[in-house]
Chains A and B, each alone.
Chain A
């Protein structure tokens, strides 16, 4: 464990990413404490510019709502959706990939055709269609994101399992009479965990981008203040109030950036042999 942290912290970017993410998490957790009122409430006159009043350092929006409170609550939504949809996508993709890779043959063929189908259709367009038809809510958003995000997981897991299946220690396990289930759980999957973890961190980033894009288009959960929604609402008033689009965008950028940096850091820490050249 200690070894892992040592390797991880050698990558400065990864450490910065971790710090940024930690800040975002703290903000999300503390939001109801620091901003006890709902972010949908009108607190001042509309279009208050940033830094013009001490209480509202980021100003107010078209309906007089506190931008800072919006950012804080938006963090909750982004993290929640990002995490849950990624876990859901993993729960779909890992079994599909593992079964396809381990058993091969027609099971592999069938599952891979299925996966290919989902990979070929434009994922964002599909997400839009799904959320639109099933009505926007936090549940439909999470489901839609999970549905368009699982194929790369299945692909990755299948690839890893395929290569491991013919690895000699797996063959030895087969020869020693262990059952298929035991072999998959004990020999194969634990050795695929590292790439899955790296992929997962990148998927959370993508999920956050997806959720914000959907909210931007007006498909967000109408009861939840989301960063994407804030930018979408500010689109038509961009000339008068640039700060309404700017700050939520920066928040998204920083969070996604942090997750990407963490993903790279995890990659280097978990696969030291494959670390980048020229270091």
Chain B
């Protein structure tokens, strides 16, 4: 394979300001970007994967500076260029798109103007021509109703549409290099699939060199030609996609790939005929947003429509869906953090949906929740011991007993009992989630709802927490409802899965059936959208 480097990075070293967790954001990193190829830079958070890209564009944050190496582009070292020279390159020869489509566009400018700006920045074309080109670009990136989109403001478009606009802006001047910094991380899985497809098409059509930064190996499997894996600012492994994914040589790569939940599910273990511990029937919730006193354009959101399912002891039920599917709302209705309009939630002989006051407080013991954001789920001013013991104490357990129990629970979740006296900020994200699990267990509930409990964690930490949950499930015979948007995670841990779309359950069945014989068209499209599905990542042996 004749490689044709458009850009070469050699021994790049970027220093972090004092007080950071390490000296260099990027340490002695070298790689090439070849014409007509997609290079994926993979790593977990803090690996420095975005830094070299920022350095290429001269967009490093204020206190971070390159202190060694070179970035050769067309015979010039980009690190030596002046700001004016870099401005000339940006957008024209090297373009960049990044992660948050919500905030990456100026909320006060129309789409048309923002695209036309790219031409304006480089003094090209007349204003009329710019508008015409903008429209063409929008068509090329597949935006629905491009004429309307031109005159729209960013808030009127969806996340996926905004990302298409970003791509249109990046392509406008036919750059030689496109840098994509986690562009699909904030998107739904089906939208992500579309955007990845789009990038691949456009890359072929325009012959660009694409550098795709991501933390998701599935995405890598889906589109990468070549891969570089980064850890702590260093490249630990690099090669073609096949090489790295099928035969990883470095331990870290192996660990990362092994941590990815596989899509292989066991054939359903002979029907779980146990008595249901939770029965949900006809759950409904509709709410109105944007109303208020002025009543301007109130939107009616049918968050949960007639949802019914049962949960047996020792079973894990997954509720899977994209954003807006209602999966989180179902969870919140079950625990009455949101008041359902209709429906029955039978748990331990009571209808949770109808209880009030003291009876409700009492019944709350039986169903607990683990939350998504490890940094927001623990009161920063409370010690860990109190966080775990508060619940039981509110139900009459003595302080001594509650604290002793807390120590026991901490050890159960793999933390040291001395954590009792420490504060949340002393712990990492993964550890905080463990504390959240301990807290949920403190009241000895019969059902635990995990609301996207691992979505905010790095993939290797995620694997640990999922293992912990599986272990606890076995030991304590827990009934678990696992709410997630990540189908891989659902495949790994769930016995049965309910697929939700726009508030309704479109399919419900054993995990094996869902993944191998999906009945609903929507379920099928969800599964097909999983990046890297074709590559059986499970076939990697950890060695």
Contact = CB atoms under 8 A, between A and B. Distances in A.
A176 B371 contact: no
B395 A177 contact: yes
Contacts of B369: 171-172, 175
A167 B365 CA distance: 20
Interface string B414-447: 0000000000000000000000100100110000
**Count class of interface residues, chain B:** 20 to 34
B381 A191 contact: yes
Given A169-B377, A191-B380, A177 B371 contact: no
B377 A168 contact: yes
Interface string B389-406: 011001100000000000
Given A176-B443, A177-B361, A177-B364, A171 B337 contact: yes
A191 to B, nearest CB: 6
A178 interface: yes
Given A176-B443, A177-B395, A190-B381, A171 B390 contact: no
A12 B146 CA distance: 55
Interface string B493-513: 000000000000000000000
A179 interface: yes
B371 A172 contact: yes
B362 interface: yes
Q: Which of A167, A169, A179, A191 has the most CB of B within 10 A?
A: A169
Contacts of B373: 168
B452 to A, nearest CB: 11
Contacts of A182: 394
A173 interface: yes
Contacts of B364: 175-177
Contact of B439 (A172, A186, A187): A172
A175 B380 CA distance: 18
**How would you classify the secondary structure of chain A's contact residues: helix, strand, loop or mixed?**
helix
B335 A169 contact: no
A160 B245 CA distance: 48
B167 interface: no
B413 to A, nearest CB: 15
Contacts of A185: none
Contact of A173 (B372, B381, B390, B443): B390
B203 interface: no
Q: Which of A171, A177, A178, A187 has the most CB of B within 10 A?
A: A177
A129 interface: no
A174 interface: yes
A175 B377 contact: no
A178 B390 contact: yes
A191 B365 contact: no
B379 A169 contact: yes
Contacts of A177: 361-362, 364-365, 391, 394-395, 443
A177 B359 CA distance: 10
A174 B443 CA distance: 13
A78 B443 CA distance: 54
Contact of B379 (A174, A179, A191): A191
Given A176-B391, A177-B362, A171 B380 contact: no
B378 interface: yes
Nearest to A166: B337
Which interface residue of A176, A177, A186 has the most chain B CB atoms within 10 A? A176
A176 B379 contact: no
A260 to B, nearest CB: 27
B368 interface: yes
Interface string A162-201: 0000011101111111110010001100110000000000
Nearest to B292: A109
Interface of B: 62, 335, 337, 361-362, 364-365, 368-369, 371-373, 376-382, 387, 390-391, 394-395, 436, 439, 442-443
11 contacts: A167-B376, A168-B376, A169-B376, A175-B369, A176-B364, A177-B391, A177-B395, A178-B390, A178-B391, A191-B379, A278-B62
